Amino acid sequence: MSKKEENKKGPEMDQNLGENEIDQKEMREDVTTEEARSEEAEIDEVEQLKNEVQKEKDNFLRLFAEFENYKKRTSRERIELFSTANRELMLALLPVLDDFERGLNEIEKSSDGPLFEGMKLIYNKFKNTLTQKGLKEVEVKTGDVFDAEIHEAISQIPAPDKKLKGKIIDVVEKGYKLGDTIIRYPKVVMGS
């Protein structure tokens, strides 16, 4: 080829080379743009997955807390159920215990020692069984200060002594607790 021909082709080739370079630049820009888009899509996908994991974690924690509350609530309800079942039974047995004590007092007055000892053994066994199940006697003595929260006044009589004014003079019926709850208030006579 002569220089003229090269010169003729030169500008055309230069132009072709320039077009190729522009095309390559555009392709590089397109690739770069596509890479940026794919990176953004990956970042968006990662963020979306993180958000989903966080939501699931929150749901799990809420569900776990609800389950713990459910366990505590059912445990409390079960304990209350047992205590109320015991309460009803104890309330039904308290008159029997009172009658037993009155009977022992009358047998003690008689001269039959072996009968008294036998009945006292049965009474103690019965009372110990109730005590093991949580029954406690409310301690009330003559001369204690009357407390409406703990005692039930059934009557008021003139105090035999000024020191007994507003205080308990006599206990008519014993009171009992089941655990920490009073199930029967002691019935007392108060001095006025």
CATH number at residue 178: 2.30.22.10
Alpha-carbon dihedral angle through residues 139, 145, 151, 155, given to the nearest 10 degrees:
120
Residue with tokens 């596509």: 34
Quick check: is 90 in a domain? Answer: no
Tell me which residue range forms the domain holding 142: 135-192
C-alpha distances in Å from residue 144, one per residue of 28, 140, 141, 163, 189: 102, 7, 6, 11, 11
When pLDDT is cut at 50, 70 and 90, the band that residue 36 belongs to is: low
Quick check: is 141 in a domain? Answer: yes
Quick check: is 192 in a domain? Answer: yes
Whether the predicted pLDDT of 106 surpasses 80: yes
Quick check: is 170 in a domain? Answer: yes
Please tell me the predicted confidence (pLDDT) of residue 21: 62
Q: Quick one: what percent of the chain has pLDDT higher than 90?
A: 42
What global pTM score does this model have? 0.58
Quick check: is 69 in a domain? Answer: no
Quick check: is 47 in a domain? Answer: no
Contact 188, 170 (CB under 8 A): yes
When pLDDT is cut at 50, 70 and 90, the band that residue 143 belongs to is: confident
Structural domains counted in the chain: 1
Provide CB contacts within 8 A for 92, sequence distance 6+.
none
Quick check: is 66 in a domain? Answer: no
Higher pLDDT, 3 or 25: 25
Quick check: is 60 in a domain? Answer: no
Whether the predicted pLDDT of 163 surpasses 60: yes
Question: Of 71-75, 112-116, 126-130, which gets the smallest average pLDDT?
Answer: 112-116
